[in-house]
Amino acid sequence: MAPVYAQLTVVTYPAYRGWAGFLSMALFRLPLWLHKPFSFTKLMGCGKNGTFDITPDWHKWAIMVAVKSLPNTSPQLAPYPAFLTAWWKFFGAQQSHFLLEPIEGHGTWDGKEVFGSLPKKTDYEGRIAILTRATIRLNRLKNFWKHVPAVANVMAGSEGFEQSVGIGEVPWIKQATFSIWRSKADMKNFAYKMAEHAEVVRKTKQENWYSEEMFVRFKILQQS
């Protein structure tokens, strides 16, 4: 079975043009759906402060896609439909691209293993990107959002943390964080040894916060 790659693009629109990003969430759906290289696509908004945030960043938007094959043998970004690139150019939007190879993970997105069936653990220990996403149960929204600020603050100050962005399909309910770490060891120190994060992980299981969740680790093949 051919490997599935992931591609995340975060698009930032200039001041007073955030409305173009909002409109793109509707207009981009058909071109992406018709684009054969992509087996899965998600158009999402972004939170402020680089993580989950109850207040959206109206100037920042994201696209996550799964790519079944790359253009050449050497890793490089799969091209987007021409309509998208023309739109970004017209509105002066800047893009940050991440080409990713899924290596470890579990869970589903809309009931699908969108990046294929992955092992829970590998020997890879280098620079790593993490996608953590969940659909939060309506009766657990208050519990979830109450713990977000503390975890976000700890993550931002953690050893080996490089950057993150909060992304989501549905405000407050379907949320994800994409983060980059210097090494797997640094990420594990935050995930399993920091008291604030460990407490949230414990409560999500104990109180059944999520109706669906997914956790995937990636090698970073290209960043631009």
| 0.85 exceeded by pTM | yes
In a domain, 216, yes or no: yes
Residues 69, 152 share a domain:
no
Task: Examine residue 120 and state whether it is found in any structural domain, yes or no.
Answer: no
Euclidean distance between CA atoms 67 and 3, whole angstroms? 9
Task: Give how many domains the chain has, as a whole number.
Answer: 2
Q: Are residues 83 and 157 in the same domain?
A: no
Q: Is 68 exposed, middle or buried, given 0-12, 13-18 or 19+ CB atoms closer than 10 A?
A: middle
Q: What is the pLDDT of residue 175?
A: 86
pLDDT score recorded for residue 188: 84
Which CATH number covers residue 9?
3.30.70.100
User: 180 with 98, same domain?
Assistant: no
Same domain assignment for residues 141 and 97? no
Instruction: Classify residue 112 by its DSSP letter.
Output: B
The rounded Cα 169 to chain-centroid distance in angstroms is: 10
Rounded average pLDDT per 10-residue block, the chain, 224 residues: 82 94 96 90 86 79 88 75 97 96 93 90 93 86 71 79 90 86 89 66 74 92 92
Statement to judge: residues 90 and 165 lie in one domain: no
Residues 6 or more apart in contact with residue 72 via CB below 8 angstroms: none
Q: Helix, strand, coil proportions of the chain in percent (round to 5)?
A: 30, 40, 30
Mean pLDDT across the chain:
86
96 and 12 belong to one structural domain: yes
CB 210 within 8 A of CB 135: yes
Structural domain for 158, as ranges: 128-223
Same domain, 86 and 133: no
* The residue count for the chain: 224
Residues 153 and 205 placed together within one structural domain of the fold: yes
**Contact predicate 174/52, CB 8 Å:** no
Residue 206 and residue 201: Cα distance in Å, rounded?
9
Which segments within the chain are labelled E, that is strand? Answer: 5-12, 38-47, 56-67, 94-107, 128-136, 161-170, 174-181, 210-223
